[in-house]
Amino acid sequence: MNAKFFKATILASAVMLAACSSTPTTTNMLDQARNEFVAANSNPAVSSYAPLEFKQASDALDAANAAAARRESLAQIDQLAYLAKQKIATAQQVASQKAAEADIANSGRQRDQLRLQARTAEADRAKMDADRAKMEAERAKMDAQSAQAQANDATRAAQNAEAQTREAQARAAQLEAQMADLQAKKTERGMIITIGDVLFATNQATLTADGVNNVRKLADVLNQNPNRTVLVEGFTDSTGTSAHNQELSERRAGSVASALTGMGIGRERVAMRGYGETYPVAGNVSAGDKQLNRRVEIVLSNEGVAIPPRR
């Protein structure tokens, strides 16, 4: 392996970099490695005594040049360039030592020169070791700073989660109190508030003052819980025709729904249905049972969940 091979390698690397970009990425470390490579390539002792080591140095420099052509991070380019510098230095050291060993038998002066070169090489190695230690220390410092930043982010996230949990618990407690005031009942479909027959005008769909007051309390709940919706369902007893009962149940459900939208609740959050005399909650014999069947049930959805249909 001779100097022409390595010169061709340098030329090929330069062509590759030029093809990738008119202004390829480089660093001081990479520029130093290239200059040291050229210097080593010009040293005839390297091609004579350290061809294998110099081939390894050439491969390492090619890897650094390729990283620069791909515009990888400066830290990655420096790391590869530093490795190339080490291998170039190793090739130079091997060549120097072997050349000195070949000449040592010829003269004491050459032996002295070899010792000097060995001391210089040792000093260079020590310097490179110091440089490597410095780079590792800087990398460790950066890792520590990154870990601290991640810890700070985790702390903030935990604090935010805790605040959100406290807020959700406070909303849930407030909702429980408001539902208790409305005598709501928990079901699989959601919380159900019942507006009895006494809160409507007799055989009419007009809400009394107490009925309006109950609806206003529910409107307050909906304003404080924007992720919930309501379904207003009207029912009657079996007195009268089915058509009359169906129409009355729809009008009463519609009256409650209109009262809610009139109090600022979006129409998209309020649905209504009339069921007439179906789904009674008591017999339709006594006056008391019939009054229980004449009602409007308002289903308040669970948080962010659609209200399932009546079974």
Work out the average pLDDT over 93-121. Answer: 82
Compute CA distances 171 → 191, 295, 300, whole Å.
Answer: 15, 29, 15
Compute CA distances 73 → 59, 70, 79, 141, 155, whole Å.
Answer: 20, 9, 10, 18, 30
Decide which of 169 and 81 is more confident. 81
Q: pLDDT tens-digit profile of 258-292?
A: 999 999 999 999 999 999 999 999 999 999 999 99
The packing angle between helices 108-181 and 209-224, to 10°, is 180
Q: pLDDT tens-digit profile of 115-171?
A: 888 888 888 888 888 888 888 888 888 888 888 888 898 888 888 888 887 877 777
Structure tokens at 35: 């200059």
pLDDT at residue 20, rounded to an integer: 45
Do residues 40 and 46 make contact, with C-beta atoms less than 8 angstroms apart?
A: yes
Q: How far apart are CA 182 and CA 10, in angstroms?
A: 86
274 burial via Cβ count (<10 Å: 0-12, 13-18, 19+): buried
Decide which of 81 and 140 is more confident. 81
Q: What percent of the chain has pLDDT over 70?
A: 91
* Residue 64's pLDDT band (cuts 50, 70, 90): very high
pLDDT at residue 2, rounded to an integer: 54
Work out the number of other CB atoms within 10 angstroms of the CB of residue 46: 24
pTM exceeds cut of 0.75: no
Structure tokens at 184: 């709501």
User: 295-300 and 191-196 as β-strands: parallel, antiparallel, unpaired?
Assistant: antiparallel
**So where are the chain's domains?**
3-152, 182-300
* Per CATH, domain 182-300 is 3.40.50.1460: no
Does 243 have pLDDT greater than 50? Answer: yes
Q: How far apart are CA 50 and CA 36, in angstroms?
A: 15
pLDDT at residue 23, rounded to an integer: 54
Do residues 237 and 293 make contact, with C-beta atoms less than 8 angstroms apart?
A: yes
Does 105 have pLDDT greater than 80? Answer: no
Work out the average pLDDT over 98-103. Answer: 87
264: left (phi over 0), alpha (psi -120 to 50) or beta: left
- What is the secondary structure of the chain as a DSSP string? --HHHHHHHHHHHHHHHHHH-SS----HHHHHHHHHHHHHHT-HHHHHH-HHHHHHHHHHHHHHHHHHHTT--HHHHHHHHHHHHHHHHHHHHHHHHHHHHHHTTT-HHHHHHHHHHHHHHHHHHHHHHHHHHHHHHHHHHHHHHHHHHHHHHHHHHHHHHHHHHHHHHHHHHHHHHHHHHTT-EE-SS-EEEEEEGGGB-TTS--B-HHHHHHHHHHHHHHHH-TT--EEEEEE--SSS-HHHHHHHHHHHHHHHHHHHHHTT--GGGEEEEE-TT-S-SS-SSSHHHHHHHSEEEEEEPPTT-PPPPP-
Do residues 274 and 253 make contact, with C-beta atoms less than 8 angstroms apart?
A: yes
Q: What percent of the chain has pLDDT over 90?
A: 57
pLDDT at residue 167, rounded to an integer: 77
Instruction: Give the mean pLDDT of the chain.
Output: 87
pLDDT at residue 12, rounded to an integer: 42
Q: pLDDT tens-digit profile of 1-52?
A: 454 445 445 544 543 444 444 455 899 999 999 999 999 999 998 999 989 9
Q: How far is CA 251 from the centre of its chain?
A: 50
Work out the average pLDDT over 71-88. Answer: 93
pLDDT at residue 6, rounded to an integer: 52
Do residues 231 and 307 make contact, with C-beta atoms less than 8 angstroms apart?
A: yes
